[in-house]
Amino acid sequence: MSFVADLKAENAKTFTMKLKEPYGLVLATLAKPTSNLPFMMPKRVAETDPNTQITDPTGSGPFVFKKEEWKPGEKAVYLKNAKYKPRAEPSSGFSGGKVVKVDRVEWVWIADPQTQVNALLNGEIDFIEAPPHDLIPLLVKDANIKTLVVAPMGRQYAFRFNVLHKPFDNAKARQAVAYALNQKDFLNSTIGDAEFYVTCKSLYPCGSPLETTKGWEDKIESNFAKAKALLAEAAYDGTPVVLMQSTDIASLANLAPVAKSLLEKAGFKVDLQAMDWQTLVSRRAKRDPLASGGWSAYLTSWGSVDVLDPVSTNFLNASCEKATFGWPCDAELERLRDAFAKETDPAKQKAIAEAVSVRATEYPTHVHLGQYLQPSAFRRNILGVLVASNVAFWNIEKK
């Protein structure tokens, strides 16, 4: 909103946005389908202090959250919104008419992947959003089950640094990581089947308009000699890398042990700390020193639609204390990202995106670790599942 001079509601269906200066990403910002995205809220909710968690989930969509049935970590229930009026046009991903064809959707959390798959095969549940890739063969051979890659742009893995503390407060140490890692080891450890992954040195997704390998040509190849040389330049003193491992999400669980092995081969000491994702999410928000429960790095994945350009890529935000977890702080990266946002000429945007790619090797905020496709699985009596940037539950029928 820093580019917005005024945002005014003209009537119940129209608002006017006035900009302070040219901004080339207006439509991309308003239409962003996944995190972080603009949510439409009632005025009373939207005016909540930005540092305060909202307690009223009322939005503007085709479902109503059944708060009284919510059991955190166990179940969330959504009912068809009887007051919602969809556009009179076919559904098209996250656009078009959002027609809800079921009365109730229950999201249930089943921690064990094999139990998830067994429940689907036995008809106890209807849909698995992200079955582990090694269990997909069990699903494919069952005539009652269909698999579908709902988000064909896929996802991108990332190794995220915390730049506040040793050893990653030193850019040379972070550069060493970029040389120590390689994408294939991570992709094989978790995805396994090459049908569902691709190595991609581009900071932005391969196949996207801004695809470029500028700055990354000789990196992410496990060049341990180069990594060790950079560690020497960084005067690395043996401070352990506190590496957080998420153990309860199948697509992430195997990543940290791979990173530990590669980092140790490059000369780092690594303290691998296993935890569930909820604990990791809580802990990554803390800026505490390592000795007081702080952290050095963790691994995660982003939808490819979330990393299409320098502005939407959250991990490239280098605005110091305003940046997301890891808190990179680099005036040059911010200058380039700001220039990209203001530029309206696609050719000039491309050149700026390439400059960002190069700068991200000089001042690394994260290391991208390849792209993968995540099939969903559902019983064949579930119809109307949409191909989009994420799973949507409108347009779905249960026969």
27-79 residue pLDDT tens? 888 888 877 788 888 889 989 998 898 899 888 899 999 999 999 989 999 99
| Partner residues linked to 96 by β-bridges | 91
Q: Is the dihedral of CA 253, 259, 264, 267 positive or negative?
A: negative
Residue 320 in tokens: 């110091």
The fold of 57-150+375-398 is D-Maltodextrin-Binding Protein; domain 2 (3.40.190)
Contact 171, 363 (CB under 8 A): yes
Q: For tokens 């959003």, what's the residue? A: 129
pLDDT for 39 equals: 84
Max CA distance (Å), the chain: 64
Q: For tokens 């900071």, what's the residue? A: 203
Residue 138 in tokens: 């069990």
pLDDT for 13 equals: 86
| Partner residues linked to 257 by β-bridges | none
pLDDT for 343 equals: 94
Say which residues have a Cβ less than 8 Å from residue 7's Cβ, sequence separation at least 6. 1, 15, 16, 17, 18
| CA–CA gap between residue 225 and residue 175 (Å, rounded) | 13
pLDDT for 28 equals: 84
Amino acid at 393: F
Average pLDDT, the chain: 95
88-108 residue pLDDT tens? 999 988 889 999 999 999 999
pLDDT for 36 equals: 75
What are the sequence ranges of the domains in the chain? 57-150+375-398, 155-372
Q: What does R_g of the chain's alpha carbons equal in angstroms?
A: 22
Provide the 10 A C-beta neighbour count for residue 182: 18
Q: Could you list the pLDDT tens digit for every one of the 399 residues in the chain?
A: 778 999 998 998 899 999 998 888 888 888 888 777 888 888 899 899 988 988 998 888 999 999 999 999 899 999 999 999 999 999 988 889 999 999 999 999 998 999 999 999 999 999 999 999 999 999 999 999 999 999 999 999 999 999 999 999 999 999 999 999 999 999 999 999 999 999 999 999 999 999 999 999 999 999 999 999 999 999 999 999 999 999 999 899 999 999 999 999 999 999 999 999 999 999 999 999 999 999 999 999 999 999 999 999 999 999 999 999 999 999 999 999 999 999 999 999 999 999 999 999 999 999 999 999 999 999 999 999 999 888 999 999 999
Contact 243, 260 (CB under 8 A): yes
| Predicted TM-score of the model (pTM) | 0.90
Looking at domain 155-372, which of 3.40.50.2300, 3.10.105.10, 3.90.1150.170, 3.40.50.720 is its CATH number? 3.10.105.10
